[in-house]
A and B are shown apart, each in its own frame.
Chain A
Amino acid sequence: MKVLGLDTQNLSALLKVVILGLIAAVALASRLFSIIRFESVIHEFDPWFNYRTTRFLVANGFYEFWNWFDERSWYPLGRVVGGTVYPGLMVTSATIYNILRTLNFTVDIRNICVLLAPLFSAFTSVAAYLLTSEIKDSSAGLLAAAFIGVAPGYISRSVAGSYDNEGIAIFLLLFTFYLWIKALKEGSAYWGALTALFYFYMVAAWGGYVFIINLIPLHAFTLILMGRFSSRLYVAYSSFYILGTLMSMQIPFVGFQPTRTSEHMAALGIFGLIQIIAFVEFARSYISSNQAQILFKSFVVLSFVGMLSGLVLLTLGGYIAPWTGRFYSLWDTGYAKKFIPIIASVSEHQPTAWPSFFFDLEMLIFLFPAGIYLCFKELRDDHVFLILYGITASYFAGVMVRLMLALTPVVCVTSAIAISRLFDIYLKLDDTDKDNTSAKNNKPAIEKSNTSAKSNKSAIEKSSRKGDASRSTSSSTSKSSEKKKKSEQFRILGFDTRILVITNFFFFLVIFTWHCTWVTSNAYSSPSIVLASRQADGSQYIIDDFREAYYWLRKNTDYSSKVMSWWDYGYQIAGMADRAVLVDNNTWNNTHIATVGKAMSSSEDVAYQIMRRHDVDYVLIIFGGLLGYSGDDINKFLWMIRIAEGVYPNEVREVNFFTPRGEYRVDDEATPTMRNSIMYKMSYYNYNELFGGQGQDRVRGARIPADKIKLDTLEEAYTTENWIVRIYKVKNLDNIGRSLEQAGAFELGKKKRKRVKRAN
C-alpha cells in the first residue's frame, strides 16, 4: 500500500513524527493561556528569584554568577547565591539567550524565561514518547506523550511565566529514566554515560534529583533480589553511578553531599553491592561447586549487612548527615508542624487532598492501576522500574501536594500503556471476522503473532497507529506468550460490541482533554501577581496592586533602602522593587525569619527596636480586608507568630493572640496583644476613617474596633489603590531625644492648641 509514494514503514515513521510534533505544539500552546489573557510576565514568587538571577547571569557572565554574593537579600547577612542555588535553569535560559544573540536575534531575556517551561514541556512529551515506546510500543508512546502534554498535574508547574526549576526538571527526570531503561536494556556504557550526563543536568536543575538517585538504585536492588543480576545491569549502573556522582559533585550546592548524607547512601550501597555480586559472579564462572556458591551467597549477604551497619555507625558518629527535616516530613506528615513550622506554613507542603488527584489527573488516576497491573503481567526489567516508580511516586504525591508533579509522568506512562493495550485489542480490525466466525481460525493468527513477536525489535519500528496486539513488545518468554494466547482466545467480540467500548473510551479521552483544558485555563493560568476581576459591563478589570506598590518602591525610594516584609514577598520585592529585603522565600535562616515574625507580632516599642537594629526603612504588608483578598498577612499572621514563638518562646506566645474561647479574631473581641501588634495596627491604620466609622473587614467578615489606631514609630508611606499592599516608613529617631511616642503626643497637642487659637 502506498500513500504519497511512501511505503507503510516510511509512512508510519512520517505519521509518528507529525503526530509527535503536533503533540509538542499542543503541549506548548496549552500553556500560553496566561500570556494571552494577561501578558508575558513572570509568575508567583520563586520564579522571580530565578528571573532575577538569570538577569544577573546574562548581564555579568557565568563566572560572576558563580561567585555572586547577594548583599541585597537576607539583610544584613546576605546570601551566597552561587553556592546555594541549582543553576541549571538559569544557565539553560542564559545559553538560549546567548545563542540567539550570536544569531543577532535580540529577544528579551524575560520572554525566554517566560517561555522556557512550555518549551520544555514539549520536550517532556517527546521524552515520554521515548520512554513509553521503550517499555511498550510507539502507539503507547504517542498516547503517553499526548497525556503528559496536557495533564494538569504537570501543567500546574509549567505554564508560561512559571519560571521554576520544575519546569525543566520533569523533562530531565523522564529523559534520564528513558536513558536508564535504554542503558539497562542494551547494557552499554554509552547509554549509561548519557544517563549520568542527564542526571548531572537534573542535579544542576532541581533538588528533586534525590528521587532519581534513590529510585535507580532501588530498581537495581529489586532486580538483584529478583535474581535478575546481569552484566547489563552491572555496566549500566556502574557507569551511571560513577559518572553521575562525580558530575553531580561539581555543583557547589550539592558538593560532597553524595558521599556525606543519608539521602545518597542507598546509591552508594547498591554500587558496592553490585561490585561484590559482579565479583562473585565472575569468580563463580571459574569455580563451580555448590559449597562455593553457598559461601559466595553468604559473603554477599554478610557484606550487605556489614555495609548497612557501617552506614548506621557513621551516621551515629556524625560523619554522614542524617535525613533532613524535609525528608522526615515525607515519612511523618505531622513532623513538620511540630518541629519546623516554616515548612508546614507553605501550602504546597501540605498533604494532598484526594479530590486533587482527580483534579490533576482526571481519568488517568483510574487507568494508572490498570497500567501497573499490565506491567506486573509482563514484568520485564523496565516494567519493574515502572512499578517501583509508580508506587514510590504515588506515596510521595499523597504526602505532599507539590510532589504530585513527580507522580504525573508515571501515571501518564502507565495509563498510556493501559489504553494502548485496550486499543490493541479493540481496534484490531483485520481479523475481526475470523474471530467471530470460527474459533479454528484463531490458531494461525496466533502463530503469526508469535513469529512477529520474536522479531520484536523490527516490529517496534514497524508498528503503526493501527495497533496490533501481537506487536507489543515481549521478551518472548514462554510464560508471557502463553498468557497472550489465552487472552486472545477469550477475545470473542463482535465488531458491534467493540465499537461500544471504543466509543466509550473515545468519549473518555475527549472528556479528559476537555477537563485538562478547563483546569489549565481556570486554575493554573493566573500569574498571581495580578488579580483579574470583571467590571459591571463584563470587561476584564485587572487589580494590579502588587506591581503598583513594588514599582512605587522601585522608583521613589532610596536604592539602599531595606524593606521588611514577611518572607513570601521577599523574592518579589527583590525582583520587582529592586530593594534589599530582610527575609525571602529561600528560607535558609529560621532565626532571621522568626525575628521578622517577632517584629510583626510585637508592640510598637519592641518592633521599633528590632527594626532599628536591622536598618529597616520600609515595612511592607499585604492587606486584603477592603477587597476580600484572602491571602493577606492577617491570615498568615498565625504562622508568623508560631515561627517567632519557636525561636523566642518567652517573648511571643501564640496563646495571647487567641480569645479565651480559642478564636482568632480581629474585631472588638480581639485580644490586647493582637491589637497592639504592629501587624494589626498597620493593617487597619486609617481603615475606619475610610468608612467614616467602623471599618468592615471583608476577608474575615468582621467589624474593626471603632477606636482610632495610633502609630508613633511608623508612618504610612504608600497604600495601593485597593489597599492590598500597604507600605510604612520607619520613622527616624526624634531630633531632641524624646521617645517617638512622646514626640507624637507632643505634636498632637501642639496641633490641637493651634486649632484652638484659630477658633478664637
Chain B
Amino acid sequence: MKSPSLSFIVLIVLSICLIHNTSATTENEIIIPQYWINTKFIRTIDITTAVVRENIAILAQNVHNEPLREYYFPINENFDVHLSYITVKEKKTSKIFNIVKADFDSFKRIQFYKIIFDRQIDPHEKIVFIMSTAFIHMLTPYPVEIAQSGRQNLLFRGNLYGNSAYTTEQQKTTIKLSTANVISYTKIPGVSRNGNTIIYGFDKKKPDDYEELLVHYEFQQALLTIKGVRRDFEISHWGNNLAVEEHYNLTHDGAKLKGQFSRLEYQQTVYTHHETIMARDFLLVLPGHASEVYYRDEIGNVSTSRLRKERERTILEFKPRYPLFGGWNYTWYYGYNVPLGDFLKYDHQTGRYIFQVSSFIDPFHNAVYDKAQIRIILPEGASNVKVELPFPVNKETHTVFKTYFDSKGRYLVVLDKYNVVQEHSSPFLVSYEYSTLELLRKPLVASTFFFCGFLLSMVYSRMEFRIGK
C-alpha cells in the first residue's frame, strides 16, 4: 500500500533536517508541501445515528507549477482508530478515486491519507471531489449515568474547522441531528441553528487550525456496539445445503444505568419502554428459505424468540434473556439452513462454483461493529479459491478446517475486518473449483476404514491367544 515516491521521501528527509535538525529523528514529523489550496470546503456531519458520517466536498486548486495527481488528507490519530470507511469520488463524474493510507506523523499524531486522482491536475486547474468518512464510537453519553427510564444525552466532539493539509479559503460545516433537542453547542459568530441542523461558516483557515466543536444533544436510542461477530457459512454439496451460524457479542454503550435495575419499576413502566434507551427486542432478517432456525446463548436455548415467514424473507424476532440497559452485555448465536441453490451458481464456462455471500454483515439495529469475522467453509476438496471483496478487509486467511469425519479437511476462508458499519453490508463472491469426484471421498474413506476394521477382526479371530489348552 505504501509507496511514496522517491522525491517525496527526499523531501521529507530534507524538511526534517531543516526544521528539526536539533532533535533526533525518533519523532517522524511530516510536512505536506503546500501544492493545493482548498477554495471551498463544505462539510456535512451526520450524527443522526450512532455512526458519525462526515461528507466533505472539496474544491481544490493546484497552486504548484507542475501537474499533480496526489492530494493529502489528515485524520487525527484518535479519530483514525475509529475510522470505519473512507471513500473519495469526483463530484461531476462520480468516479471513485483511489485512496491509500500514507505516512503517520508521530509528532502531531496525525495519519495521512493520500488521494490519487485518475488524471494529472494541471497548475491552476480545479477539481471538485467528495470524501465520505464514517467514524464509530465518537459519541459519548453525558451524563454518564441515567435512571432506568431517564433520557440520554450525547456529546459529540470534533474539530470545528475541517481537517485539511492545505489552506482553506472558504468553509461551511453543517451538523445534522436526529432531534431538535439540543442542550448546547459551540457558539461562535456566524453560527446558525435551524431545528435539527447547526451550520458554521468560516473564512481562510490554516492547515493546523483547531478548535473544539462540542454538541450536546438528546439521543433517545440505544447505542449498540457489537464487540465481535463471527459468521460461519458452511457449504455442503452432499446435502445441497448452506448452514449459517452467527455468533454475536453485544454491548449497550449508551448511558449507564444509575444504581441498580428495579424489576418493579420495569413492570410499572411497561407502556413507556419504547421511549427509553433500553434495548429489549431485536429483529433479524433471514433468507426466505431459511429452515431449522435456532437461537441460543452460552447456557442453552433462549425461548423468547419468534419466527415469522414472509414470501421473500424470514424474520426472527427475539428478546435477550434480560433487557439491555446502558453498560450491559449480551452474547448469543443463531443459525439456520438454506438450500444451497439460492446462493451457489455453477459457471459452465470457467468450470467454477461461485458462492455469493449475501452481505458482509447483517444490518442489525443501527449497531456498530468493532470486529467482524466471516468464515466460509468450502466443501472438502475445493481448490483454487478466489475471494472478491468490494472493500478491503484487515486480514484474509486461507486455512483448513476439519469436521464431520473429514479426512483431508475443508477449505476455510477467514475474513477479519474492524470498525464495520451498515455501509459494509454489501454482497461479495467466493469462487472455487470442485470436482464431482470429491463427492465420493467420504464414502470411500469410510468404506476403507470399515474394510480395514473387518480385515483386522478376520486376522484376530484366526489367531490363538490362549496360554495352553
- Name A residues whose Cβ lies closer than 8 Å to a Cβ of B: 38-39, 41, 103-106, 530, 542, 544, 547-548, 550-552, 554-556, 576, 686, 689-690, 715-721, 723, 729
Most buried by B among A38, A542, A547, A550: A547
Judging by beta carbons under 8 Å apart, are A686 and B264 in contact?
yes
Judging by beta carbons under 8 Å apart, are B329 and A105 in contact?
no
Which residues of chain B from 306 to 330 have a CB within 8 Å of any chain A CB? Answer: 321-322, 327-330
CA distance A721 to B266 in the complex (A): 10
Most buried by A among B297, B303, B304: B303
Q: Which of B261, B264, B304, B405 contacts A690 (CB 8 A)?
A: B264
Given contacts A41-B301, A104-B407, A718-B260, contact A548 B321 (CB under 8 A): yes
Taking CB atoms, residues of chain B closer than 8 Å to A717 are: 260-261
Map CB proximity to A onto B136-170 as digits: 1 under 8 Å, 0 otherwise.
Answer: 00000000000000000000000000000000000
Residue B27 lies at the interface, judged by CB distance under 8 Å to chain A: no
Given contacts A547-B299, A555-B328, contact A103 B405 (CB under 8 A): yes
Taking CB atoms, residues of chain B closer than 8 Å to A41 are: 299-301
Residue B4 lies at the interface, judged by CB distance under 8 Å to chain A: no
Closest chain A residue, CB of each to CB of B330: A555
Taking CB atoms, residues of chain B closer than 8 Å to A721 are: 263
Q: How far is the CB of B136 from chain A (nearest CB, A)?
A: 22
Q: How far is the CB of B270 from chain A (nearest CB, A)?
A: 12
Residue B350 lies at the interface, judged by CB distance under 8 Å to chain A: no
Judging by beta carbons under 8 Å apart, are B303 and A689 in contact?
no
Map CB proximity to A onto B254-283 as digits: 1 under 8 Å, 0 otherwise.
Answer: 000001111110010000000000000000
Residue B383 lies at the interface, judged by CB distance under 8 Å to chain A: no
Additional A-B contact list (10), CB under 8 Å, known A547-B299, A555-B331, A720-B322: A39-B300, A39-B301, A41-B300, A41-B301, A103-B405, A104-B406, A551-B297, A716-B260, A718-B263, A721-B263
Residue B402 lies at the interface, judged by CB distance under 8 Å to chain A: yes
Residue B403 lies at the interface, judged by CB distance under 8 Å to chain A: yes
Taking CB atoms, residues of chain B closer than 8 Å to A686 are: 262-264
A selection of 8 A-B contacts at a CB cut-off of 8 Å is A38-B301, A547-B299, A551-B299, A555-B330, A556-B328, A690-B264, A715-B260, A720-B263
Taking CB atoms, residues of chain A closer than 8 Å to B264 are: 686, 689-690, 719
Taking CB atoms, residues of chain A closer than 8 Å to B203 are: none
B: number of interface residues (CB 8 Å): 29
Q: What 10 pairs across the A-B complex have the smallest Cβ distances?
A: A719-B263, A542-B303, A39-B301, A104-B402, A106-B403, A548-B321, A555-B329, A41-B300, A686-B264, A717-B260
Taking CB atoms, residues of chain A closer than 8 Å to B328 are: 555-556
Q: How far is the CB of A660 from chain B (nearest CB, A)?
A: 34
Q: How far is the CB of B259 from chain A (nearest CB, A)?
A: 7
Q: How far is the CB of B333 from chain A (nearest CB, A)?
A: 12
Residue B404 lies at the interface, judged by CB distance under 8 Å to chain A: yes
Judging by beta carbons under 8 Å apart, are A576 and B299 in contact?
yes
Judging by beta carbons under 8 Å apart, are A547 and B321 in contact?
yes
Most buried by B among A552, A576, A690, A723: A552
Taking CB atoms, residues of chain A closer than 8 Å to B347 are: none
Closest chain A residue, CB of each to CB of B260: A717
Residue B298 lies at the interface, judged by CB distance under 8 Å to chain A: yes
CA distance A287 to B404 in the complex (A): 70
Q: How far is the CB of A735 from chain B (nearest CB, A)?
A: 16
Taking CB atoms, residues of chain B closer than 8 Å to A556 are: 327-329
Judging by beta carbons under 8 Å apart, are B405 and A104 in contact?
yes
Closest chain B residue, CB of each to CB of A42: B300
Taking CB atoms, residues of chain A closer than 8 Å to B302 are: 544
CA distance A760 to B303 in the complex (A): 51
Main secondary structure of the interface of A (DSSP, over half): mixed
Taking CB atoms, residues of chain A closer than 8 Å to B300 are: 39, 41, 547
Given contacts A689-B264, A718-B260, contact A552 B405 (CB under 8 A): no
Closest chain A residue, CB of each to CB of B301: A39
Q: How far is the CB of A527 from chain B (nearest CB, A)?
A: 9
Closest chain B residue, CB of each to CB of A550: B299
Q: How far is the CB of A14 from chain B (nearest CB, A)?
A: 18
Q: How far is the CB of B129 from chain A (nearest CB, A)?
A: 45
Taking CB atoms, residues of chain B closer than 8 Å to A106 are: 402-404
Judging by beta carbons under 8 Å apart, are A105 and B303 in contact?
no
Taking CB atoms, residues of chain A closer than 8 Å to B322 are: 548, 551-552, 718, 720
Taking CB atoms, residues of chain A closer than 8 Å to B409 are: 104
Q: How far is the CB of B97 from chain A (nearest CB, A)?
A: 44
Taking CB atoms, residues of chain B closer than 8 Å to A105 are: 403-405
CA distance A556 to B407 in the complex (A): 42
Q: How far is the CB of B149 from chain A (nearest CB, A)?
A: 16
CA distance A555 to B304 in the complex (A): 18
Taking CB atoms, residues of chain B closer than 8 Å to A544 are: 302-304, 321
CA distance A719 to B267 in the complex (A): 11
Q: How far is the CB of A654 from chain B (nearest CB, A)?
A: 32
CA distance A716 to B298 in the complex (A): 25
Taking CB atoms, residues of chain B closer than 8 Å to A552 are: 321-322
Closest chain A residue, CB of each to CB of B299: A576
Q: Which of B299, B301, B304, B404 contacts A104 (CB 8 A)?
A: B404
Taking CB atoms, residues of chain B closer than 8 Å to A104 are: 402-407, 409
Q: How far is the CB of A722 from chain B (nearest CB, A)?
A: 10
Q: How far is the CB of A617 from chain B (nearest CB, A)?
A: 12
Taking CB atoms, residues of chain A closer than 8 Å to B406 are: 104
CA distance A717 to B267 in the complex (A): 15
Q: How far is the CB of B85 from chain A (nearest CB, A)?
A: 30
Judging by beta carbons under 8 Å apart, are A723 and B263 in contact?
yes
CA distance A544 to B303 in the complex (A): 8
Q: How far is the CB of B272 from chain A (nearest CB, A)?
A: 17
Map CB proximity to A onto B78-97 as digits: 1 under 8 Å, 0 otherwise.
Answer: 00000000000000000000
Closest chain A residue, CB of each to CB of B264: A686
Closest chain B residue, CB of each to CB of A39: B301
Closest chain B residue, CB of each to CB of A692: B268
Q: Which of A38, A547, A550, A718 contacts B261 (CB 8 A)?
A: A718
Closest chain A residue, CB of each to CB of B251: A555
CA distance A552 to B329 in the complex (A): 8
Map CB proximity to A onto B363-385 as digits: 1 under 8 Å, 0 otherwise.
Answer: 00000000000000000000000
Taking CB atoms, residues of chain A closer than 8 Å to B327 are: 556
Taking CB atoms, residues of chain A closer than 8 Å to B321 are: 544, 547-548, 551-552
Closest chain A residue, CB of each to CB of B297: A551
CA distance A665 to B264 in the complex (A): 25
Taking CB atoms, residues of chain A closer than 8 Å to B267 are: 690
CA distance A729 to B262 in the complex (A): 12
Taking CB atoms, residues of chain B closer than 8 Å to A690 are: 264, 267
Taking CB atoms, residues of chain B closer than 8 Å to A542 are: 303
Q: How far is the CB of A750 from chain B (nearest CB, A)?
A: 15
CA distance A687 to B259 in the complex (A): 19
Closest chain A residue, CB of each to CB of B409: A104
Closest chain A residue, CB of each to CB of B249: A555
Which residues of chain B from 389 to 406 have a CB within 8 Å of any chain A CB? Answer: 402-406
CA distance A716 to B257 in the complex (A): 13
Q: How far is the CB of B447 from chain A (nearest CB, A)?
A: 15
Most buried by B among A547, A555, A723: A555
CA distance A611 to B407 in the complex (A): 56
Taking CB atoms, residues of chain A closer than 8 Å to B405 are: 103-105
Closest chain B residue, CB of each to CB of A105: B405
Most buried by A among B262, B298, B300, B331: B300
CA distance A39 to B405 in the complex (A): 25
Q: How far is the CB of A723 from chain B (nearest CB, A)?
A: 7
Taking CB atoms, residues of chain B closer than 8 Å to A39 are: 300-301
CA distance A296 to B262 in the complex (A): 82
Q: How far is the CB of B458 from chain A (nearest CB, A)?
A: 19
Taking CB atoms, residues of chain A closer than 8 Å to B259 are: 715
Q: How far is the CB of A602 from chain B (nearest CB, A)?
A: 23
CA distance A478 to B262 in the complex (A): 82
Closest chain A residue, CB of each to CB of B304: A544
CA distance A275 to B414 in the complex (A): 69
Closest chain B residue, CB of each to CB of A543: B303
Taking CB atoms, residues of chain A closer than 8 Å to B297 are: 551
Q: How far is the CB of B216 from chain A (nearest CB, A)?
A: 24
Q: How far is the CB of A49 from chain B (nearest CB, A)?
A: 15
